[in-house]
Structure 1
Amino acid sequence: MALKSTIYKATLNISDLDRQHYAEYPLTLALHPSETETRMMIRLLAFAMFADEALSFTRGLCVDDEPDLWQHAPSGEIDLWIEVGLPSDKRLRKACSRAKRVVLLAYGSDQQFDPWFQGVRKTLMRLDNLDIYRIDDSACDTLTALAERQMRLQCTIQDGELWFTGEAGSAEVRPRPVSVV
């Protein structure tokens, strides 16, 4: 018998001063049995960074040809494809061929990130519609500490920095752009 996903409910109130976007989003996040809470919270971070009424979570880990989040244009084209983690260069090439813009939120220790990045760097240099952001370990840890089955989070974004506050505490995250050149 297959294990079922654990459901997390989040009310995310966003005040994005960089984009002048202010909204509250009731979100349902399914934590896949093979997924960590850290990865789930990075998906929530991605939603906060690019919040839009048309942005949605996908079926995630159980589907190979979908990102973690995406946003479709009214015509059905994929405007934004968001991946989290350290995906293969093949997956990123495929994403860049299907979407107008692809964003990767890379996280993990330096011992994980550095070899991955050196292995895919040549391929990534050719992908003009790919943006990569690195989330450091301490930010991952403080963000993961906010994870609860029922979350009410306030996220303020200014100058590319995100501040999350909730009943379980607070977290400050500054996604760093990664240059592939």
Structure 2
Amino acid sequence: KDYSGDIVLWIDLGQMDEKRLRKACGRAENVIVYTYNLKSATAWWRQYGATYERFKNLRVIHLHAEEIEKLCERSMRLQCNISDGELSFHSERGDVTILQEQWQ
């Protein structure tokens, strides 16, 4: 939010339903939806993508994050670098690069 209380950026994860997305786009200047499970996100986008094109302040970005689980452990220390649309995570268990794909 800005100092006047207006929502500048609304960020959501996963596959939003149309009611919530309509609410977000109506209240915020910019809305970004990050999806992360390719199979379910693709099905969601096929079903609703054409409907969501009417929202001019909406961006939908898919994160190819299938390998991130290999870094997970009870006590983690992660380093993250963002460069040219790539997110690189580094830990004691290894490195993972997450690519972003903009769908809208």
Give the shorter-chain TM-score range: 0.7 to 0.9
| Identity among equivalent pairs (%) | 38
Using structure 1 for the length normalisation, give the TM-score.
Answer: 0.52
- For the aligned residue pairs, the C-alpha RMSD in angstroms reads 1.6
- 1:135 and 1:126 mapped to 2: Cα distance? 23
Residue 154 in 1 paired to residue 79 in 2? yes
Between the aligned partners of 1:74 and 1:177, the Cα distance in structure 2 is: 30
Match of 1:101 in 2: 30
Classify the secondary structure of the residue corresponding to 2:78: strand
Distance 1:103 1:77 in 2: 16
Contact 1:155 1:163 in 2 (8 A): yes
Question: 1:158: how far off?
Answer: 1.0
After superposition, give the CA deviation of every residue in 1:102-160 in whole Å (9 maximum; x if it has no partner): 111112233x2233112212321110111111123xxx232222223432211111111
Q: Report the count of equivalent residues.
A: 104
Quote the Cα distance in structure 1 between the aligned partners of 2:31 and 2:86.
20
The residue aligned with 2:15 is 86
The answer to whether structure 1 residue 142 and structure 2 residue 70 are counterparts is no
2:42 is matched with 114
Asked if 2 retains the 8 angstrom alpha-carbon contact of 1:83 and 1:105, the reply is yes
Q: 1:74 to 1:154 in 2, by over 3 A?
A: same
Counterparts of 2:72 and 2:93, CA distance in 1: 8
Distance in 2, Cα, partners of 1:116 & 1:122: 11
Match of 2:6 among 77, 100, 104: 77
How far 1:164 moved relative to its partner? 0.7
Structure 1 regions of 5+ residues with no counterpart? Answer: 1-71
| 1:169 shift after superposition | 1.7
Please name the residue that 1:126 is paired with: 54
| Deviations, residues 148-181 of structure 1 (Å, cap 9, x unaligned) | 34322111111111111012221101111113xx
Equivalent pair of 2:79/2:89 in contact (CA under 8 Å)? yes
Tell me if structure 2 keeps the 8 A contact 1:82–1:103: yes
Q: Flag structure 2 segments of 5+ consecutive residues without an equivalent.
A: none
Checking the alignment, whether the CA contact within 8 Å between 2:37 and 2:66 is kept in structure 1 is no
The alpha-carbon distance between structure 1 residues 86 and 156, as it changes in their structure 2 partners (threshold 3 A), is: same
